[in-house]
């Protein structure tokens, strides 16, 4: 939208359609005197750069697409070799439209950016096709649309294969299934100690779970997102950030307490305000002197950045004056006003600010690489860095099913600490604006009720019940799906009040199982754990209801599947399967038809080799099927089937 529109606007042309007109109206509203005065005073950029920064903030943000998973390379090749050439010479309403470009600092060139008006996406045939490709690949989980700078925090986490993958949220877990996933819904500033048996395979005495990596992507005023959140232009005022400083600090301090030795914290905001950024980091470092800021200047060398600030001057709502110290501020107002303004000494740079290495923080400004504004700080414990990881680290076998040990801390010490933090935080919380935090997440003091040691509130989730490994339902899944003896049957759980294997079976790794068994799931507000692998298929007449493996869980189940039980098929079989909902068993060509008739009714797995003639497959295609008495069904969702037929999907390949 931005560049084309800007060009049109400069030439004084009458806007051609509503899209353009809306942009122009919005631009005239992108002004806030308080914002300008405040940030010019903070000197976040040299004076001569200010106008460029401001102009960039007024320009709509490009679309950004990070890619993921194993298909990333082949998808990337498709964008680079097919779509970019097609989109390279597009002219729409006499204006050249630039093709997508790779984000220079994103590893392996796996993230792309493009900047076109919605109207072009809808009406230009070339972009329309590209758009449809993006929509489909997003739906099936191969790409995500995200603001470029929001991709930064995970890149600075340096997550290793043995770390827990807790950054995934529930809705993404369906797209990226992981048995190592746990989602808790808690106030991060008072995150409770999570108990973990010292020997997770045996149970017994517990200690407190410590985390290898913690991302504190904290609630913030969000003024770095003004390019897309236009409402902030109207409402911005310095107390937005002032009021969040306390909560941000408590979240970071709690993370410091929960970090394992050799661990790493990434603190990030999408705010430009030093009160929410450097001031929070400075306070946290001062209260936890065993931590330091990590120099990450060599990481992502193509990312243009500016160092963290070492001086800033907070102000209150009045904006007219900024104050060089807390004491100066206090002299100008009554104590009541100061409390109302939510100012503390920690809002100002500490006297020994130079000792904290704040320039190691990263400031991202919109005009540097056409992104949103962002802030990142990487923190570790001093002395941790060179220590090799203890041999206790969990072993992973590629499926994420096995995690044998984790960092721990004396249970008693940690619980006392967590309790203290909780009481203190609850006392303060009533004075703190908690941004977008849902009410159910508010500390209970703020909700007007306090039930110590329990999740309480509106938390209503079904329990997590692990089935006995010799449960008849699991035994039947193992038998019917031809799973090997190595399948971790003892890690299978169900989610219903009776604890019955009624509908869906989930699987976790050993660590997640140990956590669930050692903690009250209500207290830790456990919202989701593991990943769904099997679901009950109500079969037709004469066939017993049985469990089938879910398509998205196949990568987890395949390592435990007897390879000789996977049925090989050809392109004609694929064509029939995607064309009809319930093709009859006898319409399939040989040898598939014969192989199929030798199989019992129920869940099976079929493989279309990458070398399949008549299809463009980027890898072997392995899919779940369901055989009933008379017909066969491909167990993938309708959209995937439709795109497969239309030849738009990259994931499944295309039938020529």
Ligand X SMILES: C[S@@+](CC[C@H](N)C(=O)[O-])C[C@H]1O[C@@H](n2cnc3c(N)ncnc32)[C@H](O)[C@@H]1O
* Binding site, annotated residues for S-adenosyl-L-methionine: 160, 187, 217
Let me know: does 257 contact 191? Beta carbons within 8 Å.
no
By C-beta, is 219 or 530 nearer to ligand X? Answer: 219
Whole-number minimum distance, CB 156 to ligand X, in Å? Answer: 13
Whole-number minimum distance, CB 276 to ligand X, in Å? Answer: 11
Question: Per-residue x/- mask for ligand X, residues 207 to 246, rule CB under 6 A?
Answer: ----------x-x---------------------------
| The binder of ligand X chosen from 187, 207, 414, 422 (CB under 6 A) | 187
**333 tagged catalytic:** no
Q: Of the listed pieces 7-15, 411-419, 432-440, 506-514, which binds ligand X according to CB under 6 A? A: 432-440
Whole-number minimum distance, CB 59 to ligand X, in Å? Answer: 22
Helix or strand (DSSP H, E) at 513? helix 510-518
270, 283, 361, 477: the catalytic one is: 270
CA torsion sign for 253, 259, 265, 270 is negative
Query: Rounded CA gap, 110 and 155, in Å?
Result: 13
Tokens of 585: 């068993």
Residue list 503-532, contact with ligand X (CB under 6 A): none
Whole-number minimum distance, CB 270 to ligand X, in Å? Answer: 6
Which residue reads 């904006």 in tokens?
A: 319
Query: Rounded CA gap, 400 and 164, in Å?
Result: 9
Query: Rounded CA gap, 308 and 349, in Å?
Result: 12
| The binder of ligand X chosen from 159, 330, 423, 437 (CB under 6 A) | 437
Q: Of the listed pieces 155-163, 185-193, 463-471, 615-623, which binds ligand X according to CB under 6 A? A: 185-193
Q: Is 436 in the site for ligand X (CB under 6 A)?
A: yes
Q: Binding site: what residues are annotated?
A: 160, 187, 217
Tokens of 99: 């093709």
CA torsion sign for 389, 395, 400, 405 is negative
Residue list 376-395, contact with ligand X (CB under 6 A): none
Tokens of 624: 């779940």
Return the half-sphere exposure (C-beta side, CA atoms, 13 A cut-off) of residue 546.
22
By C-beta, is 189 or 399 nearer to ligand X? Answer: 189
| The binder of ligand X chosen from 57, 180, 188, 529 (CB under 6 A) | 188
CA torsion sign for 583, 587, 591, 593 is positive
Q: Is 620 in the site for ligand X (CB under 6 A)?
A: no
Judging by beta carbons within 10 Å of its beta carbon (0-12, 13-18, 19+), is residue 20 exposed, middle or buried? buried
| The binder of ligand X chosen from 111, 134, 434, 507 (CB under 6 A) | 434
Q: Of the listed pieces 51-59, 226-234, 429-437, 637-645, which binds ligand X according to CB under 6 A? A: 429-437
Tokens of 415: 């619980």
Query: Rounded CA gap, 129 and 120, in Å?
Result: 11
Whole-number minimum distance, CB 185 to ligand X, in Å? Answer: 8
**How many binding residues for ligand X (CB under 6 A)?**
10
Query: Rounded CA gap, 240 and 260, in Å?
Result: 33
What's the maximum distance between 2 C-alpha atoms anywhere in the chain?
Answer: 90
Whole-number minimum distance, CB 454 to ligand X, in Å? Answer: 17
| Footprint on this chain of ligand X (rule: CB under 6 A) | 187-189, 217, 219, 247, 434-437
Residues annotated catalytic, as ranges:
270
């Amino acid at each position: 939208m931005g560049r084309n529109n800007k060009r049109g606007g400069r030439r004084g042309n009458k806007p051609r359609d509503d899209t353009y007109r809306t942009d122009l109206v919005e631009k005239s509203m992108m002004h806030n005197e308080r914002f300008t005065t405040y940030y010019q005073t903070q000197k976040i950029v040299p004076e001569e750069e200010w106008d460029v920064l401001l102009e960039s903030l007024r320009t709509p943000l490009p679309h950004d697409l990070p890619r993921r998973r194993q298909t990333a390379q082949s998808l990337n090749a498709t964008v680079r070799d097919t779509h970019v050439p097609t989109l390279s010479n597009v002219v729409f309403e006499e204006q050249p439209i630039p093709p997508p470009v790779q984000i220079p600092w994103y590893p392996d060139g796996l993230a792309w950016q493009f900047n076109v008006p919605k109207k072009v996406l809808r009406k230009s045939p070339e972009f329309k096709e590209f758009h449809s490709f993006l929509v489909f690949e997003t739906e099936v989980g191969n790409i995500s649309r995200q603001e470029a700078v929001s991709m930064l925090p995970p890149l600075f986490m340096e997550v290793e294969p043995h770390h827990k993958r807790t950054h995934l949220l529930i809705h993404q877990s369906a797209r990226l299934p992981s048995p190592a996933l746990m989602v808790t819904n808690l106030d991060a500033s008072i995150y409770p100690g999570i108990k973990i048996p010292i020997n997770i395979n045996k149970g017994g005495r517990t200690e407190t779970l410590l985390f290898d990596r913690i991302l504190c992507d904290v609630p913030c005023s969000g003024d770095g997102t003004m390019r897309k959140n236009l409402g902030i232009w109207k409402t911005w005022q310095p107390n937005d950030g002032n009021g969040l400083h306390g909560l941000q600090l408590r979240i970071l301090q709690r993370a410091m307490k929960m970090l394992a030795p050799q661990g790493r914290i990434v603190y990030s905001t999408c705010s430009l305000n030093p009160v929410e950024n450097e001031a929070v980091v400075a306070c946290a470092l001062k209260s936890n002197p065993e931590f330091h800021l990590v120099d990450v200047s060599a990481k992502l060398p193509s990312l243009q950045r500016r160092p963290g600030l070492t001086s800033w001057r907070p102000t209150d709502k009045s904006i007219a004056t900024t104050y060089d110290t807390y004491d100066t501020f206090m002299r100008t107002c009554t104590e009541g006003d100061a409390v109302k303004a939510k100012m503390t000494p920690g809002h100002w740079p500490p006297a020994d600010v130079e000792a904290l290495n704040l320039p190691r923080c990263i400031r991202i400004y919109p005009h540097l690489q056409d992104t949103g504004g962002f802030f990142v700080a990487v923190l570790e414990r001093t002395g941790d860095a060179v220590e090799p990881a203890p041999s206790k680290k969990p072993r992973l076998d590629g499926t994420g099913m096995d995690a044998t040990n984790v960092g721990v801390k004396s249970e008693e010490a940690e619980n006392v600490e967590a309790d203290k933090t909780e009481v203190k935080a609850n006392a303060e919380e009533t004075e703190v604006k908690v941004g977008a935090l849902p009410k159910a997440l508010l500390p209970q003091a703020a909700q007007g009720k306090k039930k110590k040691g329990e999740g309480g509130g509106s938390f209503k989730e079904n329990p997590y019940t692990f089935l006995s490994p010799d449960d008849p339902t699991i035994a039947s899944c193992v038998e019917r799906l031809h799973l090997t003896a190595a399948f971790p049957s003892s890690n299978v759980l169900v989610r219903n009040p009776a604890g019955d294997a009624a509908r869906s079976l989930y699987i976790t790794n050993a660590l997640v199982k140990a956590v669930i068994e050692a903690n009250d799931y209500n207290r830790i507000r456990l919202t989701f754990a593991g990943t769904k692998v099997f679901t009950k298929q109500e079969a037709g007449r004469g066939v017993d209801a049985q469990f089938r493996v879910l398509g998205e869980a196949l990568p987890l189940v395949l390592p435990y599947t007897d390879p000789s039980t996977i049925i090989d098929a050809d392109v004609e079989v694929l064509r029939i399967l995607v064309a009809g909902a319930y093709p009859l068993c006898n319409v399939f060509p040989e040898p598939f038809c014969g192989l199929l008739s030798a199989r019992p009714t129920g869940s099976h797995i079929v493989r279309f080799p990458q070398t399949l003639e008549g299809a463009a497959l980027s890898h072997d295609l392995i899919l779940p099927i369901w055989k009933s008495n008379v017909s066969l069904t491909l167990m993938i969702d309708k959209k995937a089937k439709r795109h497969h037929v239309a030849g738009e999907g990259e994931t499944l390949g295309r039938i020529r």
